[in-house]
């Protein structure tokens, strides 16, 4: 389970892209829920990488459907890096 702190940081990064004003929860999905196109997802990934100072490999993306998936992946990468 990802920490609230990680989730909050990701919500902040998503907020400006959330044009439809969808409620952000750990279960919110990027494709069906937020309806982000692949290019916006790409920008978001880059921002998450910079925020957490990590590399979020392209190969992982297909498995990351919800905000919580991303938060968990981020925490795992951050902890492996230390």
Partner 1 sequence: MDLLDKFDATVALRASLPFENADPFKVVMQEIISETEAIIDGRHTILAGTNNYMGMTFNEDALAAAKKAIDDFGTGTTGSRVLNGTYNGHKALEATIADFYGMEHCMVFSTGYQANLGMISALGGKDDFVIIDADSHASIYDGCSMGNATIVRFKHNDVENMERRLKRLPEGAGKLLVVEGIYSMLGDAAPLKELLEVGKKYGCMTLVDEAHSMGFCGENGRGVAEQLGVEHLVDFYVGTFSKSVGTIGGFAVSNHPKFDVLRFVTRPYIFTASLPPSVVASATASIEAIKRSGNRRAHLWENARQLHAGLKKAGFDLATPEAQSPIIAVHLPDAMVGTRFWETLLLEGVYANMAAPPATPAGMFLMRVSVCAQHTSEQIDEIIKRFTITANKVGLELKP
Q: Where are the alpha helices (DSSP H) in the chain?
A: 4-14, 38-52, 67-81
x/- site string to partner 1, residues 15 to 54, per CB under 8 A? ----------------------xxx--x---x--xx--xx
Of 15 and 78, which has the nearer Cβ to partner 1?
Answer: 78
User: Is 80 one of the binding residues for partner 1 (CB under 8 A)?
Assistant: no
Buried b (16+ CB within 10 A) or exposed e, 28-59: bbbeebbebeeeebeebbebbeeebebebeee
User: Is 79 one of the binding residues for partner 1 (CB under 8 A)?
Assistant: no
The contact set with partner 1 (CB under 8 A) reads 37-39, 42, 46, 49-50, 53-55, 57-59, 81
């Amino acid at each position: 389970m990802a920490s609230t702190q990680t989730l909050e940081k990701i919500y902040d990064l998503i907020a400006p892209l959330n044009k439809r004003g969808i409620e952000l929860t750990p279960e919110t999905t990027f494709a069906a829920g937020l309806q982000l196109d692949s290019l916006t997802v790409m920008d978001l990934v880059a921002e998450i990488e910079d925020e957490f100072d990590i590399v979020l490999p392209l190969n992982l993306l297909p498995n990351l459907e919800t905000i919580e998936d991303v938060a968990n992946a981020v925490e795992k990468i951050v902890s492996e890096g230390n």
